[in-house]
Structure 1
């Protein structure tokens, strides 16, 4: 259980792919103009991450080391194609909104990195749990960034939720204030880059406070060694 707890801690906080590893920044900065887009891309990435970790762990003993990366990329590409077709069929509006960044999940360094660094060296259960935690960590960063940008940029939250959940979700939109024109800095990728910097700074401040309140380790007791000389 302690091993799984450490995997969860690594994925959600200590080694978060968005805030610490800084992987997958291209879709993270470009798509998170609204919370709906962030949730959609995050869930798609999570599904692909869990599925690829499971499949890579299953075939790890049968793939030669020389061709493991191309094989991993083929597995990821197949899963991304399935997810893309499902979103196209059941959430076409979200499919159009995510655009090219949906198929670009294939090149997301988070997925390839976990397949190579973890799934190819661990059991199926650990690989699946690692994919779930890393995917959740990445999705949470997407959601925080999308919520901040949407509130600052257009004064709403869950705008376009019907694209993800259906027509009934159109009433979920929350209006904080009415704006005549959107705040473009928050809606464009430069604003996302600035907001990402604030999120990373907030995480570093929290880590510093946790480290400051952590009790200092006790000094090791000196060990006296006695050398015995044999006298003939």
Structure 2
């Protein structure tokens, strides 16, 4: 039980922070930068990617013993494509307007290196429950970056947040839009692709800064402990 807890904790830290697919591995940048003009777009694509990651990881883990090593990559791609087809049809049926907004980037989930990479590097070597959790935290880490970037671009670009929430949650969310500030001239740099590059760079810089501060603090605490141990030994 203790080993399982430690494993799940390690997977959580890796997926959400240390090995985040978007911030560290820099995978899936094409859809990440292209569709995150709003928070809801980022949330929709993030949930779709998370669903595909979990489903593909579990399926790959279950069938890994029967897949010949020589054809494992094509088989993994077919499994991922099946799940992408399912999520595409579901979005087409229940969230059609969001489906139109995300466009070609839904089927392009098949080519997301983060999904193929986790299937090959982890799911194909682990039992289903660990593969499922790995897919969940990796997908969640990717989705959080999508939402953060989409929220930043929407606020700075249009002065709103949660605009178009009804496209994902239905009519109940028609009045969820938060107006942060009024503007007659949207800040196009934030809405257009260059704004996505700038916003992504700022997020990565912030993560690196937090990591450096944490590392400096840990090193300082280690030096302090060594000095205290030395003083205690000498006395």
- Shorter-chain TM-score range: over 0.9
Distance in 1 of aligned mates of 2:188 and 2:83:
35
CA distance in structure 2 between the aligned counterparts of 1:90 and 1:183, rounded to whole angstroms? 32
Inter-partner Cα distance in structure 1 for 2:133 and 2:148: 22
* Matching residue of 2:222: 216
Pick one of 96, 106, 119 that aligns with 1:102. Answer: 106
CA distance in 1 between counterparts of 2:210 and 2:155 reads 24
Distance 1:129 1:59 in 2: 17
Alignment of 1:15-30 (within 5 A): 15-30=19-34
More helix by share: 2
**TM-score, normalising length: structure 1:** 0.93
Q: Which sits farther off after the overlay, 173-182 or 50-59?
A: 173-182
- Bigger Rg, which one: 1
Q: How does 1:72-91 map to 2 (within 5 A)?
A: 72-91=76-95
TM-fit CA distance, 1:183: 1.1
1:144 and 2:155 aligned: no
Unmatched 5+ stretches in structure 2 = 227-235
Find the counterpart in structure 1 of residue 229 from structure 2. none
Does 2:152 match 1:135?
no
Given the alignment of the two structures, is residue 183 of structure 1 paired with residue 187 of structure 2, yes or no? yes
Please, what is the CA RMSD of the aligned residues? 1.0
User: In the TM superposition, what whole-angstrom CA distance separates every residue of 1:120-178 from its partner, at most 9, and x where no partner exists?
Assistant: 01111110000000000000000100000000000000000000000120100000111
Distance 1:125 1:152 in 2: 40
1:62-93 CA-partner distances (Å, limit 9, x unpaired): 10110000000000000000000000000001
**1:189 Cα shift?**
1.1
Partner SS for 1:181: coil
